[in-house]
Each structure stands twice: as C-alpha cells, then as structure tokens.
Structure 1
Amino acid sequence: MSDVSSRSRTRPLTTAEVNPRLRGVCFKTGPPRRIGVELEWFVFDPRNPKGPVGPSRLTVAYAALRRLALRSTLTFEPGGQLELSSPAATSLSQCVGQVAEDLSQVRAVLRTHGLALAGHGHDPWNPPRRILTAPRYRAMEAYFDRRGPEGRSMMCATASVQVCVDAGTEGPGPLGYRRRWRMAHLLGAVLVAAFANSPLRRGLPTGWLSTRQAVWSSLDPGRALAPASGPEPRQAWTEYVLDAPVMCVRREEGSWEVPRGLTFRGWLDGAGPRRATAADLDYHLTTLFPPVRPRGHLELRMIDAQPGEDGWIAPLAVTAALFDDPTAAETAYRAVRPLAAAAGTGPAPRNALWEAAARGGLADPGLRSAAVSCFAAAQEALPRLGASAAVRRAVASFAERYPGSGRCPAEDLLDAVPVAARRTVPEVAVAGAQSPAGEGRP
C-alpha cells in the first residue's frame, strides 16, 4: 500500500466520502463471471463425537494446518470452528475443484491428530465456548452480552455454507443487480428451508429445523437483519451501514472500546472517542451480519453447514446456477416472487416467511413448491455452466432425497433421536437463554 493510500485510510473520514465508497465498492457491478464459497466446520474427535475437543489440542492441530499451502484462506471462528474461504473462481467447476483439493489436505492433517470435520448448522451436543482470545472476539462478546446469550451461540456454536456471487449488471433483467438483490432475499428463505441442518441443541430438538437461523434472527437487529426493502439497494445499504451500531473502536494496545448507543453516522458527526477513518468504516462493514451482505459481490449467509464430506457442493451448485444462468435466474425469480406476500413487511430473517423456513423447512407448501421449481431449474442449468458429472449427480441426489420428498437434512437428524428423548427444549433456551450453572460461558 502506498504512503498516500495509507494516509487516506487513517485520516478523518467525511460523510461525503462514505456514499461513493459504499455504493461503488459494496455493489461493484459487471457481467456475472465469478463464484466463491466459504465453508465453516466443527472439529471433533471421531472416538468421542459428542464431546468437545480441548483448546490445547485444537491449537496444536491448527498450527499444523496453517503450514499447508492452500488456495483457500484458512481461518478459525471464536468457538474453534474451521473456515475455508475459496478464492474467486471463474467457473463452478473450478471453485468446486479447488475447495475439494484444499479440504482433502485439511482432512489429512486433522486425521494425523485424531480429528475430523462435522457439518452442522448449530453444534448439536455442546454449549458455546469461546476459544479464541483476539481483541475482536472479546469486544464482540462484550457487545452481544448486553442483549443476551444469542451472540455467544452465534460466535461459538454455529457454522454455515456461504455462497458468493457477483452483484450483477447495472441494467434490468435477471442479471441486473437490483433483481439479484431482491431475489437473494426471497430465494434465501428457500435455501434456509431446503438445507436446514440444525434441529438439535444438547442432543434434544429445539423446535426449529434450523436452530442456527433462530439464533441469527435473535441478534441485534441493527446488524443482523436485512436492510429496508426498496427499489435501490445501494441507497438502502448505505443507510443501513450508517445507522448500524458501532460494535467496537479498535486500539493498537489493550482492550478495544465497546461504545453504547454509537452509530457510525454519529461517529462521523463527532460523537465517538476519536474521529472515524476509512479503515474504521472498512472494519465496521465486517461487523455487520445481514443474511445477504454486499462486499463487491453478494454473500449469501443463510445456509446451514451440510452433512457429509461433499454435502456443501449441492448448495453451492444450486445457488450458482440460479444466479448466473439467465434462464434459471428468470425461472427462479418467478418461483420465489409469490413468496413476497408470505414474508409480510418485516425484514429477513425476522419475518413470517423466513421463520416458517427455519421452523418447518419445506413443510410450508409455498416454500416446497418454490424449492422444487428452483432445483429443477438449477439441474437444467448445470450442464450449460459446464458443471461436472459429479456435481450434477450431487444436486440430483439432494433434489430427489429432500425437496422432492418435502424434507431437509435436519429431519434425518431428528429421525435418529430416540423416541423417549424427543422432548423439545424450551424455545427460550435455543440460543442458551436458559442454561444450567453458567452454561454458555467460557
């Protein structure tokens, strides 16, 4: 970074500079040609699959993983979840191939430490515990604790498949960024329902097929709900960012400040402990967690982590096909557009449509009908996108087993729960709100 650009990131930021920065950087438009995926996993010991892995053991294994030469970026979440973020690929096949190779290396190293990866949207066995001690995570924990325990569950006990697609073009039609933004928030509910995979907490049903989504919908609405709907996503996102609470003010030394009642707009106006900079804005954006996040591309954050070694391929392939193949995109939009009435006026994920998806999966007739249409459109599009036979088989198998039968992976987990144990955990305990003797506290 040049001295000039470095100084521009640390000098005080003006309100006039924010709009073009958010509009141009967060919604960078152009013909869709790139795809990416971020995979989060729980790490477990196959000899004791329901028990937590000790922090010291994870530290040793993760040090070995950091020595790998991966194309994906390897990071770790506060509760020890492992995350692989693929580089931007120019095709679905390239994305799948690169991530599969990286996962193969990661699994091989973990095996030497007696560990393996598990795909669940929410830890089905253990309470949340924070392992990482970086200032960011201490500040996040302090911020979320003011509202209740849901933040700790989000940070330490959830995992997802996040699919990244280009924002789209400036023009109208199925590849235009306005259409893609709107479709993402309607299709998102279908993806929640079809790929729900987190019905358990402490081994018992929670009353939700996607407990992960229940947790996320309970978080601070200023940073976890979708921006206001409207014809211009760029303006809605700009207002959302400015009105969102500031989670923390970073310091070079010591604990970071966690202010109360400070929005980024207020910080720009001089209300913070110091003047906000461009670097502060960039960091503020990383602390916002709506279900669809614009980052120069659209990051779809609503899909539960999936079971099996290759379960992540189906949500990646289906989402890519429905966004990047014009015919499939048009079909999908027609399929999900009627769901807008079911959503009501509330923002995702805290509206009737998204709640129905998280609670009941594809039991809702409208969600099931949309899912069947969208999966069929995706399957027709995959050959046009050059998807391999293996990818096409993965999607076809999932479509037949789940949407075609009105089911989702969560129901397989529920089927395995002994009948005598099938009492539902009180819903207030879904995110750890009722817990014995300090459960959920590190």
Structure 2
Amino acid sequence: MARDQIDMTPLQSRDELVAWLEAGVKPPSAFRIGTEHEKTPFTLSGHHPVPYEGAKGIGALLEGMQLLLGWEPIMEHGNIIGLYDVTGGGAISLEPGGQFELSGAPVETVHQTQSELMAHLAQVREIASPLGIGFLGLGMTPTWSREEIPVMPKGRYRIMSNYMPKVGRYGVDMMYRTCTVQTNLDFRSEADMVKKLRVSVALQPIATALFANSPFTEGKPNGFLSFRSEIWRDTDNARAGMIPWAFEDGMGFERWVDYALDVPMYFIKRGDEYIDVAGSSFRAFFDGRNNSLPGQRPTLSDWANHLSTIFPEVRLKRYLEMRGADGVPWGRLPALPAFWVGLLYDNASLDAAWDLVKTWTAAERQAVRDDVPRLGFKAKVGNRYVFEIAKECLALAHAGLRRRGRLDHFGRDESRYLEPLDRIIESGRSPAEEMLDKFAGPWRGSVEPAYDEYAF
C-alpha cells in the first residue's frame, strides 16, 4: 500500500466519488503496468521473524534503504515505516508482520518490471545481508505461529488487528502471515474497465492455481495448496470475494461507488492519528453520521484510503488490481504481470478470454474460487478442469504478448516471462505440489530447507 493520501478537500456529492474513479480512464498509449510484491523477512541464523526494533531490525533495514536510495521516508510517530520515490513513483512499505513490500512504479513493459525487480533485490540485499536478514518468497510463512510474529508500529494495523477477529476466522493470519504478488493495470473507458474486471475476476482462481505456493503452516502441510487463498475466504466477507454483482447489467463506476459506500470502514486518518471507526460504513460518514466525527464529512483522502481497505479478488481504484496470487520466489514474479498483460492489454486475447468465461454462472465462479485453494488444477468449472483452462489462458497470454511486440534489447518479446508458468503447465503440478513432494522426500519432513530454496 502506498502512502495514505493527503488530499483534504471535503466531499460534497456522490458524483465526486464516481469522478475520482473515472479519472483513471487513459488512452491505450498511456497504459502502464504496476507490480507489487511482498516478501517475508527472516533471520538468516535460526530462521526467526525479524522485529522492528534494534540494530538488526526492520527499522534499521528501512533506514539503510533510505540512505542507499535517497527516497523520502514515510514516518509515523517518529518511526520510519516506508519509503517513497518522489521521481519514479515507486514505494517500499511494511505489511503488519514486517512483510516487505515493493510497490513498483508504473512502467510500460514487463521488461521494465523485471529490471525494476532486479535493481530492488540487489539494493535490499546490500542492506539486509550485513543485518543478517533474508527474504522468503512464499505465500505464507511456513513455520511461525501468530504469536511469534512481531507487530509493525503502524496505527492502522492496530485498528485492523482488533477488528479482524469480529468478522472472520483468518483476518489476523492474512495480516501477519501471508504474502502476495499483485499486478495493477489500466482501462481506456468505463466499458473497458467492466470487461477487464469481469474477465479478471472470473480468472483469478486460475492465477491462484498457477501461483499456489502456501502448503505449510507451523512446519506441517496444512491440507491446502494455497492456504493464503483459503485465508481470504474467511477474513472479512463484507469486503472480500468474487463480487457477483459486477457481472449484472448496469455495472460501472457508479455501481462500484455504491458497493464501497456500504463496505465497513477501518479507520479515518487525521494528521498522524488513526481514528478507529471499524464497522461503520463510509455512507454514514458521507452523511455526517460517523459517531467518532459527528457532523464531519469525508475528504478525497478518506475515500482513497477506504478504497484501499476493500479486498475483493480484483479491486478497482484508478486502475484494476489483480489480487489472487501467492507471493513467489523472484524468478517467478514477472510471470504475473506477463500473464495479465497478455490477457488484458491485447484486444484479441481479451475477447477470447471473455468468450471463455462469459457463460460461467455466479455459482460456478464461486465454486471454483472455493475449491482452488485445496484442489488447485484439479478444481473444476462446470465439467472442465482448472488445469485445461489455465493452459488455454497461458496460450492466450503468449499470443497477446507476442502481438504487443514490446522487444527488449536482445529482440525478445515479453512472452519470455511466462516461461515459469509454461514449466508448471508442462509438469501438470502447481508449485505447492512440488514443494509437498520435497517435504515428503529430500526435505525429510522438515520445511526448514524452504528458507534456502525459496529465498530471494
């Protein structure tokens, strides 16, 4: 999550909320790709969680990164909690359990995503290695209990931690024990947004299967291929899920606004303070009926912050965020933007992807969403296995990237970044299944080797 917004214009009408989203419309020539990835820091000796405090803590890591990069620090009550690149637009932020997130700058090609990633990893390594910190590329911490994980000094997370147990079983696990990789993509009109949203919501479980990478909890197989994806099924269903209404007639920016108005809020930020308003709707705040700030109206900043605390499988801001994938090792990270760019930024592939999913019912979409965390490629939509659908989507992504024709200096197009997914499809097994085989075989019933094999 980038910095909490700072536009303090009070809102007067619902139209302004719609206009804020509509401002994301861009011509295809201005389309960009944003990639965000989270990774879990661990101590190289002993594979323990890394606290915020201390000479070898997360705070020290961020201070070192600030000196190296010259990025602006993001501060809260005297603690450095993130960094912001004023010129390029990238940011580094902390998730609740110390997960280190790079929110990449908006770039034009997947080649640039790859370059940005390699530069970031080299920079992080330079600072982290002397501190004895490594990073893990899995969808969930494989060994630690909730209690062991330190809490980062961010006010919004205290509020969320208190609220989560009231609305679902796994919200605290989501916050402290999971990692994801996300791709953010643009749209050229309201209709284009709706089409891309529907295609990507329907296909999010396919991405979940391809990237499934969280089969261990507290040192043992947890019965799932993507336990991270399972966690989202019982985190907070008032703000998560497959948003079936987005497939109904009349879908557009206004419909999203009406949905978001009724999603319970977590907090309101005033200055450095986070005011706990968990459970009350943005609509009540908009009407001046928020108990914590009676008579006050929200600002555009409040709206932007609120939109960033809604967690459906695909999230609309001024771009679309693909949210279904587990965090993965660095070699597989650029495969996610490559997959979605190939499907959504090429008109022929987008049309073909829509043809693939347009007959699926809301019940079928929900069923595959529910089954994929456990079954992966063996889940079904109607009478088709996810494996077949994934294979078809990968072919469409390849074709889309080839037609896009964005070449690197060796004359290669972006389809080369799909190679890790090609290998997964060739083997017929998700990354999690491969890991479970290692656990049963060469790892001899221990997940500790993951800290070597899946480290950045």
Instruction: Say yes or no: TM over 0.5.
Output: yes
Q: Does structure 1 residue 116 correspond to structure 2 residue 134?
A: yes
Alignment-mate amino acid for residue 421 of structure 2: F
Partner residue of 2:116?
98
Deviation at 1:198, TM superposition (A): 0.8
Specify the alignment match of 2:451 in structure 1: none
> C-alpha separation between the residues in 1 aligned to 2:420 and 2:268?
48
Q: Which residue of 2 aligns with 1:316?
A: 337
* Alignment partner of 1:142 is 2:162: yes
Please state how far the C-alpha of 1:48 moved relative to its aligned partner.
2.7
The answer for the alignment partner of 1:9 in structure 2 is 8
SS in 2 for 1:94: helix
Question: What secondary structure is seen at the aligned counterpart in 2 of 1:333?
Answer: helix
Alignment check: 8 A CA contact 1:325 1:381 kept: yes
TM-score (norm 1): 0.83
Q: 1:188 to 1:167 in 2, by over 3 A?
A: same
Are the counterparts in 1 of residues 168 and 236 from structure 2 also a CA contact under 8 Å? Answer: no
Q: Name the structure with the higher strand share.
A: 2
Q: Which amino acid aligns with 2:351?
A: E
CA distance in 1, matches of 2:255, 2:131: 47
Match of 2:314 in 1: 292
Mapping for residues 19-58 of structure 1, pairs under 5 Å: 19-25=17-23, 28-31=25-28, 33-49=31-47, 51-55=48-52, 56=54, 57-58=56-57
Question: Which amino acid counterpart does residue 356 of structure 2 have in structure 1?
Answer: A
Aligned to 2:373: 358
Aligned to 2:431: 409
Query: Is residue 259 of structure 2 the alignment partner of residue 207 of structure 1?
Result: no
Matched residues, number = 401
Question: What runs of 5+ residues in structure 1 fail to find an aligned partner?
Answer: 1-5, 424-442
Residues 405 and 253 of structure 1, relative CA distance in 2, 3 Å threshold: closer
Q: Deviations over 1:341-394 (max 9, x none)?
A: 3x517xx7xx21112222211113431111101111222333333254495444
Tell me: CA distance 1:390–1:330, structure 2 relative to 1, closer, same or farther (3 Å).
closer
Question: In the TM superposition, what are the counterparts of 1:211-226 in structure 2 within 5 Å?
Answer: 211-226=227-242
State how 1:211-290 maps to structure 2 within 5 Å.
211-227=227-243, 228-229=245-246, 230-231=248-249, 232-252=251-271, 256-260=275-279, 262-272=280-290, 273-274=292-293, 275-278=296-299, 279-290=301-312
For 1:329-344, what aligned pairs fall within 5 Å after superposition? 329-338=350-359, 340-341=360-361, 343-344=362-363
Q: What TM-score comes out, normalization by structure 2 length?
A: 0.80
Q: Sequence identity of aligned pairs in percent?
A: 28
Q: Residue in 2 aligned with 1:398?
A: 421
In structure 2, runs of 5+ residues without a counterpart are 1-5, 70-84, 447-456
Q: 1:14 to 1:149 in 2, by over 3 A?
A: same
- SS of residue matched to 1:208: coil
Query: Secondary structure of the equivalent of 1:106?
Result: helix
Q: State whether residues 43 and 80 of structure 1, in contact with CA within 8 Å, keep that contact through their aligned partners in structure 2.
A: yes
1:433 corresponding residue in structure 2: none
**Residues of 1 paired with 2:331 and 2:413: CA distance?**
10
1:82-93 correspondence runs (5 A): 82-93=100-111
Equivalent position of 1:65 in the other structure: 65
Q: 1:41 to 1:237 in 2, by over 3 A?
A: same
Equivalent residue for 2:181?
Answer: 161
Between the aligned partners of 2:325 and 2:194, the Cα distance in structure 1 is: 22
Distance across 2 between alignment mates of 1:336 and 1:164? 21
Distance across 1 between alignment mates of 2:45 and 2:150: 23
What SS does the aligned partner of 1:315 have? helix
Q: Is the 8 A contact 2:402 2:413 kept in 1?
A: no
Cα deviation, residue 88, structure 1: 0.8
- Counterpart Cα distance in 1 of 2:413 and 2:38: 22
Name the CA shift for 1:283/1:398 in 2 (closer, same or farther; >3 Å). closer
